[in-house]
Structure 1
Amino acid sequence: MTRIFTYQTDGDIAKHAVITVDDQKAESLIADGKAVKLDLPEFDRLEREASDLHDQYKADIAAIKNTDNPLLKLPDVQAYELDKVEREYREKSAQLQADWTAYRAKQLDEAKLKAARAVVKVTQGDRLVAEQFIDRASLQLATAHDKGEVLFDVAQKIRLLSDEQKTALQGKVAGLLSGIEGSTREKTAVVNAVQDVRNSDLLAVKVAEQLPKSVLEKQRISDIVKKVVGGN
């Protein structure tokens, strides 16, 4: 399985989503320019530590329950030792979760700052492309019987432009669309296309907001099982 961040919708996969898909699907989306691989080393590290901690906890519980030590077989003694292992496990896992929660919050704060300060450098050439693009689109719309069809074509062409050219277009699209009645879906497609700027700083918040909230997946599943069937 591969964790990715999506740039575009693809079937039932939403745009700007942090998801995990099978490796073949991930390779296909990345190759088509619809997604990028997302590495989360700090999450992976803490989740791995939490997983190892849980495995050790289960082993310690099993060792106490299956002991040959006569003293540990005494109900009161065994209960004490089991409770001790449980408390130590919960304390250590809670600390791992606290570490991740703090890291996640910091990443979100930093991402908001990056997004607020994000700059896409637009050249005079990019502005010229934008101006002429709008001029051509305006002429097409002025003479078109089916303006929705023209807008759909405009949206498709915008997707071929660079991030810098799309940024130069953003201040002009509202004027292009303002006099057109109806065609809401097609106008939305144009707006979405011109906003599809894949600047990492601009997208940082969308990624940070979707970071996993917990590193204690094994504990969560184990706790659910305990509630259903009881025991450790």
Structure 2
Amino acid sequence: MNIWLLITIWHIYATLIIYLFSFLFKNSSLYDPFWSVAPVPIVFYLTLNSNNSLEILLLVLIPIILWSIRLTHNWIISWDGFMHEDFRYVNLKNTNKIQAELNNLFGIHLVPTLIVNLSLFPVSFVLINKIDVNIYLYLASIFTFIAVILETISDKQMRDFKQDNSNSSKTMKYGLWKFSRHPNYLGESLFWFGIYFMGLSSGIMPLWTILCPTVMLFLFIFISCPMMDQRSLNNRSDYRDYMNKTSQLFLWPPKK
């Protein structure tokens, strides 16, 4: 069996197990830590089946492990227990029972898993096929690492802002957040493009694989960012002005 097909099948099986627990605990936020850790065992499995040098393996592994640590750490420090569920999941399930459960299974669990699986696919071209170390892989690895740093800085700036109780009803518009309403999502999107660039460095990846990071980018542009914007519009009186002046995703000087 094709190794990536095998990985995809097990990825789906694992997702269904997470879904079962989410259903039993009536909390779909149990999926969140799975999103951040699932790529790591997948990549480790690929490295165990790789004939490439340790140098190549580390260039791929290190940024992905750092990305996973960052996301998992974020989840741990923001976790409010089993009683708390992400508002986006609550909204998706705010319908009749059958539709709510379909949204839970597909919209919250299976579709995101398939998007992650597709976005991670390019690394298989580097790890499964025998290739030589090249400057393009180094550049792709550095690019991916910088994307993780961008996410980390964005998260730190937002946490510091929220720790000041006087900012509870205010909009964060400092640091990277002055130039983008969602710099953390920008970093996440760039991370997956970094994964794509790693695959490109193999020199054998087909053209259609540009869809791998593009689907993830569209997820943020058309779903995640608008949902976060709408929530902020509902909760912060100054957010509309900030929204009108500040780029949605890409870093850009604010309008006057």
Which bracket does the TM-score occupy, shorter chain normalised? Answer: under 0.3
| TM-score, structure 1 as length reference | 0.26
Bigger share in strand: 1
| TM-score, structure 2 as length reference | 0.24
Which structure has the larger Rg over C-alpha atoms? Answer: 1
